[in-house]
Amino acid sequence: MAAEGGIFTFAPAIAVLPFVSFLIALSAGRYMPKKGAFAGIAATGGSLLLSLLMVAQVASGHAHHMELYTWVGGEGVPFELTFGILLDQLSTLMLVIVSTIAFLVHVFSLGYMNDEGEPGLPRYYAELGLFTASMLAFVFSDNILMAFMFFELVGLCSYLLIGFWFRRSGPPSAAKKAFLVTRFGDYFFLIGVVGIFATFGTGMFGGPGVEESFPVLAEEAMSAMAAGEAMPEAVTTFFGLSPGAWFGVLGLLVLGGVMGKSAQFPFHTWLPDAMEGPTPVSALIHAATMVAAGVYLVARMYGFYALLPTLLAIIAFVGGFTALFAATMGVVKDEIKQVLAYSTISQYGYIMLGLGGGGYVAGVFHLTTHAFFKALLFLGAGSVIIAMHHNEDMWEMGGLKDRMPVTYYAFLSGSLALAGIVPFSGFWSKDEVLYETLVHGLGGSPILLGAYLMGIVAVFFTGFYTFRMVLLTFHGDPRSDLAEDPEPVRWNVKIPLAILGTLAAVVGVINLVPVHAVVGAVPEFLHDWLFHGPETLNGAHYEELTEQFAGYSAGAIPGLGGLGTLFASAGVSLAVALAGSALALGLYRGPDPAEHTEKLGALKTVLYNNYYQDEYQVWLAQDLTEGTVAGTAKRFDDGVVDGLVNRVSDVSLVSGYFLRRVQTGIVSNYAALITLGLVVLLVAFGIMGGWFGGVFA
């Protein structure tokens, strides 16, 4: 194994290292300097190095698949359930992203948690380690069951970390909400996983050396049906549905988990509340772990979704709608982290839009750039929050630009990326998402144009809320004493910001689509990378599938041609982003900007209340389920079911006798009674059965 696997042999260590740091911090953290932070930094640093080695290895040779162990197997069961590692272009890329951000978050935590003298730090670092380990294991999972399991562990860790400050009343409530909302999505996901195993007998994603994988089996089944042949023997559909319809049901069920974790409408409500957690945790959750897990899963099993045009359209519409919906809520928020929370929901909407719109590379690209700029923005906000002594209200800030320049320029870089201003990374990836959706919409799937339209409108709001946030936080005059004299931050805050600030600016170079179109010498690195994946797990294959099964083909704006459409798309999204940003500049420039929210009229209340989404969900969970339904069940059970039992036993002679005896308090009599009862029973049956026939005869 060691010989043939080479450096891949060490792949499990990518997840094991942070797991070890979890154990160390948990057991010995309180005796250690920095309470376990160094263990976490070392572990995530190690994971990062190993992940980079894996990328190099995948780049130089081939993808790799290894079996770890058999969870359930043997002769007694119809199919095995296993754990294994799949290292291909997609998973190694994601491993690098996750471990980079986890590493920087650990470093940043020294400034945010240790320097602030928080209690409970060993627990914090233990949970952070477990969080990172779970996410890394999720990313390299080779089958959907293993993915589900670590998906759930990611959910557990975010519950623990959001609720880290358990002594307050807000965080435990927010943690519970995050877990429950995502659990509701995971309910559907789990049915999907169960259904996939029952349908295909395997949950493998595919990869080198994997004989059977469910996306390939699904493809074979669909092809067979299209050609009028018999389905592959390994595939069983349910409820008499055709393969296409049944796979659609399965895909939709799995999508439930995706939408829960990636906070897509209507499962987005947990995410803004999750801001109750420590800010470094928010950075990790939003950029690289919990929320990223959902969309990553869609990318991971894209070969399955690519077969199902309805599902792709649903993904695109959910994404487009969520992008717009969340962006509109972001424009009225007062707290810096709230703005970022809604921007996260919105940005993951774009990733979904890209994946649903047939832009596999675009979706992964935006996932990558977003990971860096969103981690940056959260850590930047964390730096501001340290400076402001944990006051998060932007109306109390202002003028921080000159007092904390490193934070400002890093934050600005992230904001330009978020708003999608050329040449920052977000521009390239968001543009590609919109472009892919547009051309496929113009091609054979006009329905995608609706989703595209929502995406493009959301660009305007994104530009607006981003620069509103930047202006209120950093520009103008300080609006409070805290902002006048902010607490300085140290190297452990500034270095992660500087690194991420640079990355957010330049990481777009990995896929400069419009540039490549003009100057062929500039490569589309990411495109080439993802197109060279293993046989059934690469972009080229997905492109064929979407074309063959979903009828996706690239169209162009009439009269512009391919290149013209590309530049028109880029031009429109840039213009809209600039317009949104300009409006924010116009409204919130100047030393003491006004709120301007009154201009929204009645809409203002609706936006402040987040379209009343929380209200109806809390009503569903608390008032209806817990209050009415559970209360009724309890009354029914106490009154009717148990009441009947008591009524019967009251009038029954036997128990009436027992109950009177109870009141005499002589408990020991019952032993005799019980024994007597048993003996009578046995004898009665003995006589009936003629056991004693020999005796009495």
Which residues within the stretch 376-415 sit at the binding site for another protein (CB under 8 A)?
Answer: none
Site stretch for another protein (CB under 8 A), options 458-466, 516-524, 571-579, 647-655:
647-655
76 binds another protein (CB under 8 A): yes
Taking a C-beta distance cutoff of 8 angstroms, is the pair 12, 86 a contact?
no
In angstroms, rounded to a whole number, what is the distance separating the alpha carbons of residues 316 and 306?
A: 12
Which single residue is written with the structure tokens 């010995």?
28
In angstroms, rounded to a whole number, what is the distance separating the alpha carbons of residues 224 and 214?
A: 15
In this complex, which beta carbon is closest to another protein, that of residue 171 or of residue 580? Answer: 171
Site stretch for another protein (CB under 8 A), options 67-75, 267-275, 352-360, 515-523:
67-75
Strand partners, 362: none
- In the complex, the smallest distance separating the C-beta of residue 491 from another protein, rounded to whole angstroms, is 33
Residue 693: CB partners within 8 Å, gap ≥ 6? none
153 binds another protein (CB under 8 A): yes
The 10 Å Cβ neighbour count of residue 561 is: 10
In this complex, which beta carbon is closest to another protein, that of residue 171 or of residue 539? Answer: 171
User: Coil, strand or helix: which one is 70?
Assistant: strand
The 10 Å Cβ neighbour count of residue 515 is: 17
Stretch 667-686 residues interacting with another protein (CB under 8 A): 667, 670-671, 674-675, 677-678, 681, 685-686
In angstroms, rounded to a whole number, what is the distance separating the alpha carbons of residues 375 and 362?
A: 20
- In the complex, the smallest distance separating the C-beta of residue 279 from another protein, rounded to whole angstroms, is 20
User: Coil, strand or helix: which one is 665?
Assistant: coil
616 binds another protein (CB under 8 A): no
Residue 216: CB partners within 8 Å, gap ≥ 6? 206, 303, 536
Q: Which of 33, 74, 117, 601 binds another protein (CB under 8 A)?
A: 74
Structure token digits, residue 37: 């932070």
Site string for another protein, 515-544 (x = CB under 8 A): ------------------------------
Q: Which of 59, 71, 595, 605 binds another protein (CB under 8 A)?
A: 71
642 binds another protein (CB under 8 A): yes
Stretch 194-233 residues interacting with another protein (CB under 8 A): 194-195, 197-198
In angstroms, rounded to a whole number, what is the distance separating the alpha carbons of residues 217 and 198?
A: 13
73 binds another protein (CB under 8 A): yes
- Closest listed residue to residue 270, CA positions, set 124, 382, 158: 158
Q: Which of 52, 180, 225, 583 binds another protein (CB under 8 A)?
A: 180
Site string for another protein, 475-514 (x = CB under 8 A): ----------------------------------------
Structure token digits, residue 613: 């989404």
Stretch 277-316 residues interacting with another protein (CB under 8 A): none
657 binds another protein (CB under 8 A): no
User: Coil, strand or helix: which one is 167?
Assistant: coil
- In the complex, the smallest distance separating the C-beta of residue 235 from another protein, rounded to whole angstroms, is 13
558 binds another protein (CB under 8 A): no
Residue 26: CB partners within 8 Å, gap ≥ 6? 122, 123, 126
Residue 650: CB partners within 8 Å, gap ≥ 6? 656, 659
Q: Which of 560, 620, 641, 676 binds another protein (CB under 8 A)?
A: 641
In this complex, which beta carbon is closest to another protein, that of residue 249 or of residue 341? Answer: 249
In angstroms, rounded to a whole number, what is the distance separating the alpha carbons of residues 624 and 431?
A: 43
Cα of 604 vs its chain's centroid, Å: 29
- In the complex, the smallest distance separating the C-beta of residue 255 from another protein, rounded to whole angstroms, is 15
Taking a C-beta distance cutoff of 8 angstroms, is the pair 573, 459 a contact?
yes
Stretch 236-255 residues interacting with another protein (CB under 8 A): 236, 238-240
Taking a C-beta distance cutoff of 8 angstroms, is the pair 133, 19 a contact?
yes
Q: Which of 42, 53, 68, 191 binds another protein (CB under 8 A)?
A: 191
Q: Which of 114, 173, 480, 553 binds another protein (CB under 8 A)?
A: 173
Stretch 127-146 residues interacting with another protein (CB under 8 A): 145
- In the complex, the smallest distance separating the C-beta of residue 514 from another protein, rounded to whole angstroms, is 43
In this complex, which beta carbon is closest to another protein, that of residue 132 or of residue 581? Answer: 132
Q: Which of 9, 10, 34, 187 binds another protein (CB under 8 A)?
A: 187
Q: Which of 10, 55, 118, 183 binds another protein (CB under 8 A)?
A: 183
- Closest listed residue to residue 543, CA positions, set 247, 306, 297, 313: 306
In angstroms, rounded to a whole number, what is the distance separating the alpha carbons of residues 625 and 217?
A: 40
Q: Which of 168, 390, 490, 599 binds another protein (CB under 8 A)?
A: 168
The 10 Å Cβ neighbour count of residue 196 is: 27
